Structure 1
């Protein structure tokens, strides 16, 4: 009896000696606040499995509001620098949405697969049950930094909204290269096909504000890829995309999992595309590379600072049946949980359930529901299908209420001629259903060409007219640009975003117009039927504002409901503007374009 009492007393003493977590980061609204706990010693390959057999959750609360945030095994707590694979640090990231006092309560459980199975499990000791609090101040950030704008949220409209600034988001970004994270300074990243990137052309774009985000033992790694992100920012882009799992896909160099073999053996086997033995025999399905994922976090965090929307593509067509045979099972849940725990705190992102997805509709719904149930910040899940599968996937997702909140649209014409029609169709279909979804065009052209380098086409007329403005004038919330495989700096080989610089300048014209004119975007809709010209676009709010886009030099012919509109002409290619004189005095309006090519007429009261 005495022995039992002593055991209980010792256990209680050990629990009472638990160290309070280290709280790091700027304790400000929308900033990343990190709690690092000292827990059980473990390693990436340990038993119990630190990714499956422990479950760390921290609930942050302020009044009646609370966020249950999953945590993860963090090795020595400094793995991006040390490349550690073992240690006793366990971590959670939180981005508070209000100033003041925040309380936290820790749940740390252990048990077979407790990370992804229902049930309480048993206490893992250490920080389990610990409580505490900290004070949060207002953010001091400004400009493009997302921490000045707040979290990007779905608000039941066709546009996502920033929680702090209240602005609606219009996206202009890069969808290539899909293997962005095949970067030579990231730990344990293979070089299948000699596609490992150095981004040397963007060394010149490195800015000293990226210094805190470098990694490696001397904290000098990452300059080129961070320079590339800074380049996007300087050119007015605000989004980039990347696969986080392309085992047996087009590239085969990006994945968060550990390998069973060394890199050389993996590279040798993975040279053969669509080789099922790679996933089956060479990859550990339930273990993750802690230092590599920490280094990914450095890249994403710099993206926040530079105003970047993060497009997480969680799988691709070639491997969407790998985990659990395509279903939502143990392997996929562990993978999703690790992504959520490490990256969901970022302020502007979506979870793409699969590029050119071929999972069943029920599987897609299940994937989206897992993210909705486990992502504390409710970042949206979107679906990306083959161009000819839109009706197969999108129509049922429009007709039924699901946790899919957006479409990532791909079309297939080299001149981008399907973009406006397809975007218009799904924006209007979701609106008519009573559940407005966000629609972006993330691969607007064909696989062969799409957005070609400036050296192949410096004018980019079709990209500008049919894809960029075709999307925006249909009520799509933005475009990401795929680079066709027949051209330099393609979807797999791109190492310089400067290769399309002339087009980025044209895109900035559109972005500046949409961001600087206080447009009532959530009340605007496509109204092409108002213009007499068959191919022109109209986007507006009845009786208040109309945008009329002429695809070639000509005359605007439009019947307005009333008079008294002021006007402005915009050259979408150069950004030149010409103000009209006075107000409209008749409803049947005819106005000649002052520009030699396409033009936008802005009518407003």
Structure 2
């Protein structure tokens, strides 16, 4: 065993081993920073060269590394030296498979080529390091066994049959997993998000999760501090935001970076890391971004060494993306990865899931699939349209979804971003509703007042088809407007009434806010999330209300129970009712079929705060009942209120 290699796979006896033993004896949990050990009880690179080999120390059986549940285990292997541009393509002609075993389960995880193992700092395009990332979900003892295969196009082959097995260092090993020391919003405190009952849920608990966040800028990763990132060409086309030759730098968020936050290459990345800090501090927990927009609107994001080279990946750029993604996860922010744009759906394999698309997807899954909160989105506005007639057809989008589901060992949600209106949208969705490999919709909707009806309709259709969809309202129109600045619309009244509460009280699993194309700080050029600070706060009020008061995963919309137009009712029959009332004067609820008594409390959707008492404390079933009046408004004035009825 070569103990001079990267710290990620040390098997040594040292002061850290002693610490591990003490932790096991005392039942304590390790508290280490990512910078120190990438989640393991190990030392820094420079410390390793002086540490003794395990064979040189007595009682080497105790030299088992310790990792934490839900933290990333990152293991490096020394293998053949190559480069991003080698004639023998390391991305296409090699395949690293690592099997992780536990007494109760096992995973086979794809690895990837990592150049010199430090490419985020060195920008190296060559080296002999091959890497795997794995997130253990169970406590106790794990073992691993790694194999590196070599054969023409082995990376996209259906099996490793006939491939040469290449020697690598530390091909086998083991480690112990203890409980996580993380708390709060950090996903490492809770585990992996999956789809359950049409909502997000942490797989290993009964806790559900509501999404609220930013849908813009869609080219978030078109950022000046990432290696080899630039705009191919500026654009000023009708139907999209205009661009110049400048890409994102997020200067106003530099002040939001905090001591101890990650950077790369002597301080790069601070502004984007700061932007994530700001958004998370407002209570937002999701960010939507493209991983490839070649031919699309921004033309500034791709994972490749060049925008016209689809079999070779930019290792240093992707490692820098990973730094940002890890920080997002630590701040409780879901990675909404949008895999393509409507203009480039047929760029790879003419839309099929062939060599180029499989390679692209395999690389993203191998490098980033270990993250706990992640969506794979099949593509923005997926399917042909008048302005982009070369879209994927139904067979192609189904094949892509199936490949992702069968290739992703963690089974992250797979969503489809829709067109904005019918019949264009429904023609596509009718052909895929009920499809096992698609978990739901990333909905685009142009008319705000129709949001609730559209969500309820597709929830019902998917349920009737036997595979209930998770539906999130991710792009509200019109395309040129979206969610405008606070300075233009301080209370965001139509977004609050029709989109935010209309979505959540109709069975939607969350919202993201699209910035439009023809307003300041738009979908492509926005540099400052603070321009919509009030919108984030309003959205967070709704998230907190849902998480603290409702078993929403067991509730269904029944808007007709309320006598007011544009009111919404979400209920678990006979238990709890959440009502959005656009006005409260003369509001009633049809309780003819209910029995018992229900306590009434009010929630302020604009200003937030605690539940409050109104003019009536409780009502009984068996009749159409008046809801009375809410308390006086404290803060900005408004007419709409949320009324909560819970059975006593």
For 1:64 and 1:525, how far apart are their aligned partners in 2?
Answer: 36
1:271 is matched with: none
Aligned residues of 2:601 and 2:612 also touching (Cα < 8 A): yes
Alignment pair present for 1:133 and 2:182: no
Aligned residues of 2:77 and 2:169 also touching (Cα < 8 A): no
For 2:352 and 2:494, how far apart are their aligned partners in 1?
Answer: 40
Match of 2:412 among 379, 395, 398: 379
* SS of alignment partner, residue 285 of structure 1: strand
Match of 1:39 among 74, 79, 82: 79
* Counterparts of residues 399-410 of structure 1 (less than 5 Å): 400-410=434-444
Q: CA RMSD in A?
A: 1.7
For 1:47 and 1:420, how far apart are their aligned partners in 2?
Answer: 54
Aligned residues of 2:147 and 2:166 also touching (Cα < 8 A): no
* Counterparts of residues 524-535 of structure 1 (less than 5 Å): 524-535=555-566
358-367 vs 425-434, which moves further: 425-434
Aligned residues of 2:605 and 2:640 also touching (Cα < 8 A): yes
Q: CA deviation at 1:585?
A: 3.0
58-67 vs 493-502, which moves further: 58-67
* Counterparts of residues 475-554 of structure 1 (less than 5 Å): 475-517=507-549, 519-554=550-585
* Structure 2: stretches of 5+ with no match in the other structure: 10-36, 40-66, 234-243, 384-391
Aligned residues of 1:352 and 1:384 also touching (Cα < 8 A): yes
- Deviations for 1:350-383, whole angstroms, at most 9, x for unmatched residues? 1000101121111111111111111110001111
Match of 1:247 among 273, 294, 314: 294
For 1:579 and 1:140, how far apart are their aligned partners in 2?
Answer: 39
For 2:199 and 2:89, how far apart are their aligned partners in 1?
Answer: 41
1:300 is matched with: 325
2:479 is matched with: 447
* Counterparts of residues 139-538 of structure 1 (less than 5 Å): 139-155=180-196, 157-191=197-231, 192=233, 193-210=244-261, 213-216=262-265, 218=266, 220-259=267-306, 283-358=308-383, 359-388=392-421, 389-398=424-433, 400-413=434-447, 416-517=448-549, 519-538=550-569
Match of 1:583 among 618, 632, 637: 618
Q: CA deviation at 1:284?
A: 0.8
1:9 is matched with: none
* Structure 1: stretches of 5+ with no match in the other structure: 1-15, 260-281
- Deviations for 1:229-265, whole angstroms, at most 9, x for unmatched residues? 0001110100001101001110101001112xxxxxx
For 1:119 and 1:18, how far apart are their aligned partners in 2?
Answer: 32
For 1:119 and 1:205, how far apart are their aligned partners in 2?
Answer: 47
Question: TM-score, with normalisation over the residues of structure 1?
Answer: 0.90
* SS of alignment partner, residue 472 of structure 2: strand
Aligned residues of 1:109 and 1:128 also touching (Cα < 8 A): no
Alignment pair present for 1:67 and 2:92: no
2:32 is matched with: none
For 1:521 and 1:190, how far apart are their aligned partners in 2?
Answer: 43
2:238 is matched with: none
Q: CA deviation at 1:81?
A: 0.8
Match of 1:50 among 90, 100, 103: 90
* SS of alignment partner, residue 495 of structure 2: helix
Alignment pair present for 1:84 and 2:124: yes
- Deviations for 1:172-203, whole angstroms, at most 9, x for unmatched residues? 00000001001111000013432411101111
- Deviations for 1:365-414, whole angstroms, at most 9, x for unmatched residues? 1111111111110001111121233212222222x43301110000113x
1:600 is matched with: 642
Aligned residues of 1:18 and 1:126 also touching (Cα < 8 A): no
For 1:299 and 1:562, how far apart are their aligned partners in 2?
Answer: 52
2:241 is matched with: none
Aligned residues of 2:365 and 2:408 also touching (Cα < 8 A): yes
* SS of alignment partner, residue 92 of structure 2: coil
1:25 is matched with: 38
* SS of alignment partner, residue 293 of structure 2: coil
Aligned residues of 1:423 and 1:474 also touching (Cα < 8 A): yes
* SS of alignment partner, residue 519 of structure 2: coil
